[in-house]
Structure 1
Amino acid sequence: MSFDLVIFDCDGVLVDSEVISCRAHADTLTRHGYPITPDGVLKRFLGVSDREARQIVETEIGRKLPDSFEAEVKQATLSFYADDLSAIAHVGDAIAALDLPKCVASSGTPEKIRHGLTCAGLYHQLTPHIFSATQVKHGKPAPDIFLFAAEQMGARPEHCIVIEDSVHGVTGARAAGMTVLGFHGGSHCTAEHEDMLRRAGAAATFADMRELPGLMNRIDGESR
């Protein structure tokens, strides 16, 4: 087997945004009667689409969140991005070193993905091949977004390699029949994060983006 497509998750893989996003969600949820810390958001909803996270919360509290909820989270997130967001260290060089088609498959909204990649200086390297869970019926851990991305890019799932930082993402990519590498170098990752990604089905794990090209070559060689 040789890989024909690299699929990157966005938050926590390309941009070091998970802590920021969790803070925005925690602040907004708490204000609307669902008290939760940023760490609680991280543990419960890492890799889950905003749409599905909202459904979970509404089921638990037994009522709908206000129509303005997404707009409030988005405004808080974008505000934090402007001051605090950065690219994952060395990811720009890693992207440039991969002589393969590349795309993004993220649980975020198109606007959030675009803004995050732009703030981190990565948008020009990946546009226009950027796909959002809003384009499919089910978000991660379902395989829909990965299969959609592969279809749009003209690649067979078994020839795709996915770079993910969440258990939901690894689970979804594996359900799509793809090889997954688990990244645990984001600021949100805890000591047990690597083991969680391996248990979810990651073929290998790494914490430094400079390792990615060599790791892909090694996995490709082992699969031939």
Structure 2
Amino acid sequence: MSPALIFDCDGVLADTERYGHLPAFNETFAEVGLPVRWSDADYARYVQIGGGKERMASLLTPELVAAAGLPTDPGEQAAMVADWHRRKTARYTAKVAAGAMPARPGIARIVEEAADAGWTLAVASTSAEPAVRAVLEHVVGADRARDFAVFAGDVVAHKKPAPDIYLLTLGGIGARAADVVVVEDSANGLRAARAAGLTTVVTVSTYTVAEDFTGAALVVSSLGDPDEKAQVIDDPHRLGIGPEVTLADLARLLHLDRPRPAPPTRPTPSAVPTPPRSHPHAR
């Protein structure tokens, strides 16, 4: 069985939170007449809530509902939040298409290394699938993006830090936990991956740099490229990482890192993700 490399999306593939999601949220709030504008400091707190709809729904306190004249019926509120989120996703994907969010260092490089070596490629994210696919295509190109299995959005009932999205991904790509390396950027993502029994590398991002990454197999500033070298934050296995995290480094971690086994059950998906077009390393 070939090894697999699974990426989170936001903060891992690109710095999407500061340059994409935050402005898209605020523009949507203005569009729908909601008296809310998130600052950087505000968003650093809200980003800890898994899922965009969930972040929006957390605003619906009795005080805001009354002040803004919003519906009080739970069903109407859910429909309203879903509409807000559709608007926000459209704004966000437009920003991706416009090139507003540069790819994070080392992602395109290590994806090519993994594809050439026959590794299975996947993305596991709590963000909406159209947004994830837009970022993926922007970062690795449309052709390579078709080689990824994408598991995103509301395909599981419980979002990170619950392990559901990673358990679903394991089943979807037919991989054993022992053969998988995950790249995450947040403590919630790390907790989700570790609870699924997966070796996890953390590349810290704008809003997560101060979080607790206990249990990560490796914590670095990024995967590294010639023009932006990887800075090691924590290397518990003493890999001796150079200026770039390589596929060989990740392969070594599969032998050195031993997360606890994944639970034997798999969550029931609420939707069926689209599989990759062919063999994972087909060009």
Query: TM-score by structure 1 length?
Result: 0.83
CA apart distance, 1:47: 6.4
Relative CO higher for 1 or 2, CA cutoff 8 Å, sep ≥ 6? 1
Task: Give the residue type in structure 2 aligned to 1:56.
Answer: S
Task: Give the residue type in structure 1 aligned to 2:113.
Answer: A
Q: Which runs of structure 2 are paired with 1:16-35 in the superposition (5 Å)? A: 16-19=15-18, 20-29=20-29, 31-35=33-37
1:155 corresponding residue in structure 2? 175
Task: Give the residue type in structure 2 aligned to 1:14.
Answer: L
Identity, in percent, stands at 24
CA deviation map 1:63-89 (0-9, x unaligned): 534553112212321232214122212
CA deviation map 1:43-69 (0-9, x unaligned): 322461123223322357455345531
Higher deviation after alignment, 208-217 or 152-161: 208-217
Query: TM-score by structure 2 length?
Result: 0.67
CA apart distance, 1:25: 1.6
Distance 1:171 1:32, change over 3 A: same
Q: Is 1:206 aligned with 2:220?
A: yes
Q: Which runs of structure 2 are paired with 1:8-19 in the superposition (5 Å)? A: 8-19=7-18
Higher deviation after alignment, 55-64 or 6-15: 55-64
Aligned length: 217
Higher deviation after alignment, 88-97 or 53-62: 53-62
Unmatched runs of 5 consecutive residues or more in structure 1: none
Q: Is 1:142 aligned with 2:162?
A: yes
Larger radius of gyration: 2
Task: Give the residue type in structure 2 aligned to 1:132.
Answer: A
- How many Å separate the matches in 2 of 1:66 and 1:134? 14
Higher deviation after alignment, 145-154 or 170-179: 170-179
Q: CA RMSD in A?
A: 2.6
Higher deviation after alignment, 7-16 or 154-163: 154-163
Task: Give the residue type in structure 2 aligned to 1:15.
Answer: A
2:60 corresponding residue in structure 1? 58
CA apart distance, 1:180: 1.0
Task: Identify the structure with the greater helix proportion.
Answer: 1
Q: Is 1:42 aligned with 2:44?
A: yes
CA apart distance, 1:197: 4.5
SS at match of 1:78: helix
Unmatched runs of 5 consecutive residues or more in structure 2: 66-71, 224-243, 259-283
